[in-house]
Amino acid sequence: MTLFSAILGHLGLSQPDAANYLDVRLDTIKSWCSGRRTPAIGAVDKLYKLAERIETAADHAVGLWLEQGEPDHIDFRVDPGWPSKRCRLAVAAALWAALPNDITIRIVE
């Protein structure tokens, strides 16, 4: 596994999702994932921005949870404007990592 493919997994992007999101051919993504070619700077920048967006969304959800008095659960709604469903789940995973262990996260679509 290459760093690029690990990053895609962390962000919740399959290779076809990444090709669509980055507006490149699937063969290009495959060559970046295998390490045969170095990812384009523009693509890497776009992935950094997606990672920041994921963290910002999780931070926002934590802020709302704190405003509610830190209840024992959080109903997490993920807007549909993400590149993939797995990417939306990456937001939930970031939220899970930011909350105390005893908090239940209920994902509401």
pLDDT tens column, 7-30: 999 999 999 999 999 999 999 999
The number of domains in the chain is 1
Q: Which pLDDT score, from 0 to 100, does residue 72 have?
A: 93
CATH number at residue 86: 1.10.3100.10
Q: Tens of pLDDT along 75-96?
A: 888 788 899 989 989 999 999 9
| pLDDT at residue 104, as a whole number | 92
40 is in which domain, residue-wise? 3-108
For residue 105, with 0-12 CB atoms within 10 Å meaning exposed, 13-18 middle and 19 or more buried, which class applies?
Answer: middle
Neighbouring CB atoms inside 10 A of 108's CB total 7
Q: In this structure, what DSSP letter does residue 68 have?
A: T
Question: At 76, which helix (H) or strand (E)?
Answer: strand 73-77
